[in-house]
Chain A
């Protein structure tokens, strides 16, 4: 080999052509940059993990699981609190779209993200002081109507931004659907109370027993506050339009649960109870019915099988375990009885469209089934009650007309939660309402600061899927199961059914996370690089660097990256990184015959001149 064309520093001058300093020699590598062999360049680029993307409020799930892995629970809790005001609540009630999206679900079993979230939420509840503080005061006031998930989330984010927030709640206790729609054996009241305390600690004022349209008028909202977020939710239960639905013994799902949650229930259930509907509220009602004294509970759905029911499969499974019977393909057409319920009349029915919200076709040509019951609970969805809302802000669906930013026309009124999401295709779930509340709060902030509202820039370009990742590095581990009370014992008590993770269990479960598309400092690239051209100051997420002067673009690190964070980008897409080298190795420019002239004459020189030949 020669070193033609390469600038050779004095300290590396060698007496004979063909002697190449070894790259391991001190600074020897400076002589031969091999980066110009490369046609693609490895680049660390964190991508969107599917869980974060699927979450209704885009919690940084991969981020907090990674922190839990490393034992940094408080950091993890602080990270979760950026998007989620009450992780202890969603850690219990969330329908976890993140777990459905989890890539690990295609490998063995999805990560139990909700259980880890609950672990962090309970940790946060135990802290004497919350990690979140109110922002520097802006001097502006915002009213939030409703203290359910959307209202809570909006108030929380606005308080963090420094606004003076007042929540107006029509019930005697704050909590909205979190309190009134979710039974105690899923979400104990003291957990929710603590989260609402946290909100008050943040400086939010909560006025209970204050109903818009009765205690506060629209104009009062407009005049007394700089902005207002309407998160009133869907309060009125839907009817099934059956004959005799006004009889005693006919209950509606959400008011039934709400009265129990608020402690104002006077319902005494008989031994036989029927529940109409196949959704999550219907399931909660059926399970609550056992706890309220029912002996036999039958759920009557129009859906022809369990797969079609619009509910969380785990909850359905737990419900069946507790002994609820299912009757598919029937609609209630009449309530029979003299003043109270004696029996229901059922007719075969089906949905006319593909989705559960489509009209129901009832086959009245066959004789109705007489189904004897003592009470019936109807849980077929809710609709809003908006008599107080000026007509100009109502839309054709009977809900609030908002623009893409949740804003009512050009006013400082905004709306969030189920009230705007119904009919939008979004599932009406707690976490979606929280996400909506969060986004609307940021929009309120922009309007009050006089900035323009702009469509949310979605920073998602790639959602990491398994094809981008290297599964060789992930052995199969089963999911850490959450302990549950036995079906026979739990169906008579208000005790929490699903038990919390211990610290060890939470860490073990977080350790199963793939960190899809995100650098988690596994050091794999650092170890597999055949050249020493991946460097890091310390072992930490995203601190790896590539010495492009020496990277040959062999792709080993990219292929071996377990999480798919590393990707190959064509070298020509970069303006930088030009490594000019004349040619491989030659001492001087020009031809070999000429170049070696000094060397050819070298043997003729006296010995002392050979030592100092230059």
Chain B
């Protein structure tokens, strides 16, 4: 019997959907594989504030999920940071059992990022993927600083919200699935809108193996 928790840390408004795409697609793939799956967002964080830290949760289990009405992951073994600076901000490692995986969207190397991680001894691997580059994202995530200038526009928002992982979520999903095997690649790949970025990420991961064995 296996039970796995995945927590995604992201930022309110500007990359809220990316976090949601990750947990939703992993949970959906899990259900297709016959697992019990759950995905939800955390509204304690007040995610409707630009740049505010928000969390998205996903759970996969072979048996029925007992704590289905608990709205936070207490022991996530996989943590994804959708924006690199979040590595400095929160204790996202809290509750992680030994053998966890941390995936960060960054152009820095895992060696550089490791210095910011609280409690790295629990990690089995630190995975860095330059998702903004792989997804050829225009400016929103790569030059975050310019957000303040252009956040009034909602141009293209409706089209974007229909597709699953049209942007930087695709490489991050690839990183999670390839390094942890939480779901099968062939189950999740058909759901992803940006398949080019998804496939490119499979070759472009920077994985730093650490002390623990992958849980």
Residues of A within 8 A of B (CB): 1-2, 4-5, 36-40, 552-556, 558-559, 568, 570-572, 575, 577-586, 589-593
Q: Are B94's CB and A582's CB within 8 A?
A: yes
**Among candidates B74, B88, B90, B118, residue contacting A591 with C-beta atoms closer than 8 Å:** B74
Could you tell me the distance in whole angstroms from the C-beta of B77 to the nearest C-beta in chain A?
Answer: 18
| B44 neighbours in A (Cβ, 8 Å) | 1-2, 4, 583-586, 592
Q: What's the Cα separation between A556 and B145 when bound, in Å? A: 10
Contacts of B85 in A (CB 8 A): 38-39, 570-572
Whether the pair A578, B148 counts as a contact (CB closer than 8 A) is no
Select the residue from A39, A40, A570, A589 with max chain B CB neighbours within 10 A. Answer: A39
- Contact of B34 with A by CB under 8 A: no
Contact among A553, A558, A584 for B53, CB-based, below 8 A: A584
Q: Chain A's nearest CB lies how many Å from the CB of B10?
A: 12
Q: Write the B72-94 contact mask toward A (1 if CB under 8 angstroms, else 0).
A: 10100000000111111111001
Bound: A558/B145 CA distance, A: 10
Question: Quick check: A580 and B91 within 8 Å, CB to CB?
Answer: yes
Rounded to whole Å, the gap between the CB of B95 and the closest CB of chain A is: 9
Chain A residues within 8 Å of B157, by CB: none
A580 and B86 CA atoms in complex are apart in Å by 10
Point out the residues of chain B lying under 8 angstroms from A553, CB to CB. Answer: 51, 145
Within 8 Å by CB of A39, from B51, B71, B113, lies: B51
Contacts of A579 in B (CB 8 A): 88-89
Contacts of A571 in B (CB 8 A): 85, 88
Q: A37-B51, A39-B144, A40-B145 are in contact. Are A584 and B89 (CB under 8 A)?
A: no
Cβ B115 vs Cβ A575 within 8 A: yes
User: B108 on the interface (CB 8 Å rule)?
Assistant: yes
* Residues in chain A near residue B83, CB distance under 8 A: 39
State how many angstroms separate the Cβ of B55 from the closest Cβ of chain A.
7
Residue of chain B at shortest CB distance from A33: B89
Number of interface residues of B (CB under 8 A): 34
Contact of B144 among A40, A558, A582, A586 (CB under 8 A): A40
Q: Mark B116-140, 1 if CB is under 8 A from A, else 0.
A: 1010000000000000000000000
Assess whether B106 is interfacial by the CB under 8 Å rule. Answer: yes
> Is B149's CB under 8 angstroms from A559's CB?
yes
A571 to B145 CA separation, bound complex (whole angstroms):
11
Closest to A569 in B: B145
Chain A nearest Cβ from B149, distance in angstroms: 7
* Cβ distance B124 to chain A, nearest Cβ, rounded Å: 22
Contact flag A552-B88 (CB < 8 Å), given A39-B144, A575-B115: no
B64 contacts the other chain (CB 8 A): no
In the complex, the chain B residue whose C-beta lies closest to that of A573 is B108
In the assembled complex, how far is the CB of residue A613 from the closest CB belonging to chain B, in whole angstroms?
A: 22
Give complex CA distance A554, B11 in Å: 14
The majority secondary structure among interface residues of chain A is: loop
> Do residues A580 and B145 form an inter-chain contact, with CB atoms below 8 A?
no
Name the distance in Å between B44's Cβ and chain A's nearest Cβ.
6
How far does the alpha carbon of A593 sit from the alpha carbon of B44 in the complex, in Å?
A: 13
**Interface pair B53/A36, CB less than 8 Å apart:** yes
* Distance of A552 Cα from B45 Cα, bound (Å): 16
Besides A36-B88, A553-B51, A584-B44, 14 other CB < 8 A contacts? A1-B44, A5-B91, A37-B51, A552-B51, A558-B145, A559-B148, A575-B115, A577-B88, A582-B90, A583-B55, A583-B90, A586-B44, A591-B72, A591-B74
Contacting residues, chain A, for B52 (C-beta < 8 A):
37, 584
A442 to B45, CA, bound (A): 61
Contacts of A2 in B (CB 8 A): 44
Residue in contact with B70 in the complex, picked from A1, A555, A559, A591, CB distance below 8 Å: A591
Q: B9: nearest residue on chain A (CB-CB)?
A: A583
What would 16 A/B residue contacts be, using CB atoms closer than 8 Å? A4-B44, A5-B91, A36-B89, A39-B144, A40-B144, A558-B145, A572-B113, A579-B88, A579-B89, A580-B91, A581-B90, A581-B91, A583-B53, A584-B52, A592-B44, A593-B70
- Which of B46, B74, B85 has most chain A Cβ within 10 Å? B85
Residue of A nearest to B112 (CB): A572
1/0 per residue, CB under 8 A from A, across B144-182: the answer is 111011000000000000000000000000000000000
Residues of A within 8 A of B11 (CB): 37
Collect the chain B residues with CB atoms within 8 Å of residue A554's CB: 148
Digitize B37-65: 1 where CB-to-A-CB distance is under 8 Å, 0 elsewhere. 00000001110000111010000000000
Which of B51, B91, B145 contacts A582, CB < 8 Å? B91
Closest chain B CB from A332 CB (angstroms): 62
Find chain A residues with CB under 8 A from B94 CB. 582, 589
Bound Cα distance from A203 to B205, whole angstroms: 69
**A315 vs chain B, min Cβ distance (A):** 46
B93–chain A nearest beta-carbon distance, Å: 10
CB pair A572–B145 under 8 Å, yes or no, is no
B116→A578 contact, CB < 8 A: yes
Which 4 residue pairs spanning A and B have beta carbons closest together?
A36-B89, A39-B85, A40-B145, A37-B51
A556 to B46, CA, bound (A): 23
Return chain B residues, CB-CB under 8 Å to A582: 90-91, 94
- For B144, the closest partner residue in chain A by CB is A39
What is the distance, in angstroms, from B114's C-beta to the closest C-beta of chain A? 12
CB distance from B29 to the nearest CB of A (A): 27
Per the bound structure, the CA–CA distance linking A583 and B57 in Å amounts to 14
A36 to B94, CA, bound (A): 17
Contact B90 A556 (CB under 8 A): no
- Assembled-state Cα–Cα distance A578/B113 (Å): 13
A551 to chain B, nearest CB (A): 12
- Closest Cβ of chain B to A582, distance in Å, is 5
Contact partner of A581 among B46, B51, B89, B106, CB < 8 A? Answer: B89
- Distance, CA A530 to CA B164, complexed state (A): 35
Known: A39-B51, A553-B51, A592-B71. A583 touches B45 (CB 8 A): yes
List the A side residues contacting B112 at CB < 8 Å. Answer: 572
A483 CB, nearest partner CB in chain B, Å: 46
Q: Which residue of B lies closest to A586 (CB)?
A: B44
**Which B residue sits closest to A585, measured CB to CB?**
B44
Distance of A555 Cα from B76 Cα, bound (Å): 34
Given contacts A39-B83, A553-B51, A584-B53, contact A1 B46 (CB under 8 A): yes
